[in-house]
Amino acid sequence: MSSMQELRDKIVSWLASAGFIVAPMQGPLPQNAEWGLGVSTPPPLQVKLRLIGLKHGIVIAGIGVNFSDIHREKLKELEDAERVSFMAELTRRLLLLCPYCRLAVQGGMLTPELIIAEIVYYAETLAKQRLLDDLARLVNIFLLVNTELMHRFPEPVLEAAKHGEPSGTSFM
């Protein structure tokens, strides 16, 4: 058994013991990946994360937070300068929450569609508590993005609540 396979098995054990739901990652993996795991928090709020084991002993934990169609439309209604200001402030807050995260805004600052946050580990220094703390940090990134969108654009949430419908929040 390879050392990356052993690391994968150890990570699966850590996550399962902490209550996460773990399964092999669906879909294509990066070319230099040896394995991938789809990880989600237990109900009621199931936030989906991913862990990818790369060659040379590197592990990446990540999350992607999609902007809902409603929030994309609301952002398009803003003036360009106001949209950039909102996204800059959101990015600043995300970096305060996780200063060592790699962040990317897909679609760019004028037409944001998705925020990706990743944390990189080297296999020889990866520890259970650090991984669990960082997964909690990634879940908090998901919550922060959604909270900021709901704060800036409360109308869809309030309207949906009146009708007992899903709020149109930006779930992954």
**DSSP letter string, the chain:** --HHHHHHHHHHHHHHHTT-EEEEPPSPPPTTEEEEEEEEPPSSS--EEEEEEETTTEEEEEEEEEPPHHHHHHHHHS-HHHHHHHHHHHHHHHHHH-TT-EEEEETTTTS--EEEEEEEEEGGG--HHHHHHHHHHHHHHHHHHHHHHHHH--HHHHHHHHHT--------
pLDDT in tens, 98-156: 999 999 999 999 999 999 999 999 999 999 999 999 999 999 999 999 999 999 998 77
For residue 140, what pLDDT is reported? 97
pLDDT at 26: 87
Domain residue ranges in the chain: 3-163
The pTM of the whole model exceeds 0.75: yes
pLDDT digits (tens, 9 = 90+) for 10-42: 999 999 999 999 999 988 999 999 999 999 999
Whole-number pLDDT of residue 169: 46
Check if CATH label 3.40.630.150 holds for domain 3-163. no
| pLDDT tens readout for residues 53-79 | 999 999 999 999 999 999 999 999 999
So what's the pLDDT on residue 2? 67
